[in-house]
Amino acid sequence: MSFRRWLDERLQYQFRRLRDMLATVALYNDPNSPVWAWERNGVFSVKSTYSHLCNIEASDPNKWIWKSKIPLKIKTFMWLAQQGAILTRDNLMKRNWHGDGSCNFCQEQETAMHLFFTCPVAKYVWSLVAYVF
């Protein structure tokens, strides 16, 4: 195989790796045919695709978040909270943050559960919300 331009060391190494990977692939003369995994007979059908997509949507545990009629930024925040990805101090410490991991209000370890439900300040805020409604 020849190239139109000179390959530097890095490109030559990448080419050799690619050539070695391709050398391990065995090719056969048998004709290839696609197989549809969502149908028993292996043939594509719109019905099987629709059924599969409906089953995926039905199994989505966060469907109620995305279907709710609230602003997108609140939906996103709720989804992040559901996934445990809100940057509370415990999650920041998992990312090598070197600050204080305690809650500013009560000095307990700050987690998402603590921040939104078990902290005395959060309990007070929730009681005010309950009182208003």
Query: Which tens digits make up the pLDDT trace of 60-100?
Result: 677 788 888 999 999 999 889 888 888 899 989 988 988 89
Please give the residue range of the domain that contains residue 115: 84-132
Q: Is residue 108 domain-resident?
A: yes
Q: Could you tell me which of 106, 129, 132 has the C-alpha nearest to residue 119?
A: 106
Contact 88, 103 (CB under 8 A): no
pLDDT surpassing 80 at residue 59: no
**How confident is the model at residue 70, as a pLDDT?**
92
What pLDDT is recorded for position 77?
Answer: 92
Instruction: Map residue 102 onto helix, strand or coil.
Output: strand
pLDDT (0 to 100) of residue 34: 81
109, β-bridge pairs: 102
Looking at the domain assignment, is residue 26 inside a domain?
no
Residue 116 placed within a domain: yes
| Arithmetic mean of pLDDT over the chain | 86
- Whether 6 shows a pLDDT value over 60: the answer reads yes
Domain assignment present for residue 51? The answer is: no
**Integer Cα distance of 105 and 88 in angstroms:** 14
| Distance of alpha carbon 23 from alpha carbon 118, whole angstroms | 60
Considering only residues 19 and 3, tell me which one the structure prediction assigns the higher pLDDT.
Answer: 19
124 within domain boundaries: yes
d(CA 84, CA 76): 12
36 found inside a domain: no
Q: Assess if residue 46 is contained within a domain.
A: no
| pLDDT (mean) for 14-39 | 84
Q: In Å, what is the CA distance from 84 to each residue of 11, 19, 69, 89?
A: 42, 44, 22, 12
Report the pLDDT value the prediction gives residue 127, as an integer from 0 to 100.
93
Domain count, the chain: 1
- Is residue 111 one of the residues assigned to a domain? yes
